[in-house]
Amino acid sequence: MSAPVLGSHVHLIGIGGAGMSGIARILLARGVTVSGSDAKDSRTVLTLRALGAEIAVGHAPENLRGEPTVVVSTAIRETNPELVEARSRGLSVVHRAQALAALTQGYRVAAIAGTHGKTSTTSMLTVALQHCGMDPSFAIGGDLTVTGAGAHHGTGDVFVVEADESDGSFTAYAPLVAVVTNVEPDHLDHHGSEAAYRAVFEDFLGRIAPGGTLVSCADDPGAEALAAVAEARGIPVRRYGRSGVDATLLDFRPEGAGSRVIARHGEVELALRLSVPGEHMAQNALGALLAGLELGAPVDALLAGLAAFDGVRRRFEYKGRANGVAVYDDYAHHPTEVAATLRAARDVQGGRVIVAFQPHLYSRTRTFATEFGKALGLADEVVVLDVYGAREDPEPGVNGGLVADAVPLPADRVHFVPTWADVPRGLAGLARPGDLVLTMGAGDVTVLGSEILLELDRAPA
């Protein structure tokens, strides 16, 4: 199957990113010529090259050869030389979400949205449907642990997509099943206000296909408010959670690095063993279950698939153990996510929890510094790195120290370490056998895990 809306040649600026690389992978599987560029080589770039993509390292006008459709994300600035060249030549330029929406045409689409839990819920639904023999196409904002890939061109008629609300682009999709895990203010640098952020979710409701369904978490006030809007518009709603009427969480018990879950679907009580920790993951599993049922999958096969799900990279990902200390990595970059992940760490680890947190974006740090501090207070020792600015320029007075100052722990248990290279040795010095060390954030903090393990290996037993 081709992607006629995008044409026979597609060029992706920033092709190594999670979302862009997934689009590239699907395009290549459909026989489309793919080129692109990225700031640096990476494992993802090397994989795409092996699949047939022509990728340049560095952005330059000469990278645009021929007459491709050019795909960009919000992270690509208007001053990018390739984007400037594309506009000067009158080439078709489309947003990443529009490109992905074009790839979903002709499929029954399940779109998973929400402030938190999108990647995990999308991944759970994908694995569950695979266990049902449906071979869905999918595009996820993270790589499945079992395959190492976050996108796939399947043979089935279902396309599962992680729908990103950060810039409002998730309104490009037309889902048959829309899942909303929660609605809580975030990305105010783009939306401008909490009201505008919530309004874009109502716009997303308007994109649900005729005869489609909203699957919503009944325990989240924002999602429940959205569900009420959906019902007023005549959209069927299926609710999950402890308050959910369609899939009710009856009992959650931590068990090692996973959990035992008892739930009720209709009049039937269900038992489920999950291989990922945290009650928030149990909630995500129920959302995935209801979405799968709406797509016509059998309940027993869905439960087997959910039980087989073993995680996504950067979502409480185990990195290793050294000198009796376990090291994990997580993508959490919002206060609610930080708190949920630290609670999950408590379920897994009997000893102390030590967290190294890297704030993401100056605007988010400025807005949520107090909330980040409160969430980090759930750990025993806290190391705060400086802000990972990503697409933003620095703001005077906004740094990781704002978060560290807000942590409600004794001063000797909170450490602001602005020099990135000092963090691994500092964490190794804090940790002792039986502890769990967790690196956390949406930036380059993720690469610290291996360095921490090396420092732990060097430390005296």
Can you give the three-state secondary structure of 362-412, one letter per residue? HHHHHHHHHHHHHHHCCCCEEEECCCECCCCCCCCCCCHHHHHHCCCCCHH
* Degrees to nearest 5, angle at CA 183 with 143 and 370: 90
Amino acid, res. 12: L
Amino acid, res. 261: V
Residues in the chain, pLDDT under 70: 1-4, 145-148, 166-168, 187-192, 311-314, 460-461
Q: How large is the C-alpha radius of gyration of the chain?
A: 22
- From the list 69, 82, 118, 381, the catalytic residue is 118
Q: In which residue ranges of the chain is CATH 3.40.50.720 found?
A: 9-95
Instruction: Return the SS3 of 70.
Output: strand
CB atoms within 10 A of CB 412: 7
Instruction: Return the SS3 of 104.
Output: coil
313 φ/ψ angles, rounded to the nearest 5 degrees: -60, 140
CATH number for the domain whose boundaries are 9-95: 3.40.50.720
DSSP secondary structure string, 295-349? TT--HHHHHHHHHH---BTTSSEEEEEETTEEEEEE---SHHHHHHHHHHHHHH-
Amino acid, res. 221: P
Dihedral of the alpha carbons of 325, 370, 441, 113, in degrees to the nearest 10: 120
CB atoms within 10 A of CB 111: 29
CATH number for the domain whose boundaries are 317-458: 3.90.190.20
> Which tokens in the block code for residue 364?
């988010």
121 is annotated as an active-site residue = no
Q: Identify any residues that bridge with 95 across adjacent strands, giving them in sequence order.
A: 72
- From the list 44, 115, 119, 126, the catalytic residue is 119
- From the list 162, 279, 337, 455, the catalytic residue is 162
Q: Is 80 exposed, middle or buried (0-12, 13-18, 19+ CB in 10 A)?
A: middle
pLDDT computed for residue 353 by the predictor: 93
Q: In which residue ranges of the chain is CATH 3.40.1190.10 found?
A: 104-308
pLDDT computed for residue 49 by the predictor: 95
Instruction: Return the SS3 of 146.
Output: coil
d(CA 133, CA 278): 28
pLDDT computed for residue 406 by the predictor: 94
d(CA 21, CA 233): 36
336 is annotated as an active-site residue = no
DSSP 209: P
Nearest residue to 23 via CA among 61, 64, 72: 72
DSSP 39: S
Amino acid, res. 329: D
Q: In which residue ranges of the chain is CATH 3.90.190.20 found?
A: 317-458
Does the global pTM surpass 0.85?
Answer: no
d(CA 255, CA 160): 29
Both ends of the chain: CA-CA distance in Å? Answer: 58
On the CB side of 420, CA atoms within 13 Å amount to 14
* Sign of the CA dihedral running 267, 273, 279, 285: negative
119 is annotated as an active-site residue = yes
Cβ(435)–Cβ(345) under 8 Å?
Answer: no
> Which tokens in the block code for residue 289?
């279950």
Cβ(376)–Cβ(385) under 8 Å?
Answer: no
Dihedral of the alpha carbons of 442, 447, 448, 451, in degrees to the nearest 10: 180
pLDDT digits (tens, 9 = 90+) for 279-333: 988 999 999 999 999 999 999 999 999 998 876 666 778 888 898 888 989 888 8
pLDDT computed for residue 255 by the predictor: 84
How far, in Å, are 258, 260, 276, 333 from residue 310 at the CA level? 9, 14, 6, 22
CB atoms within 10 A of CB 234: 6
Place of tokens 């994300």: 73
Topology of the domain comprising 104-308: UDP-N-acetylmuramoyl-L-alanine:D-glutamate ligase (3.40.1190)
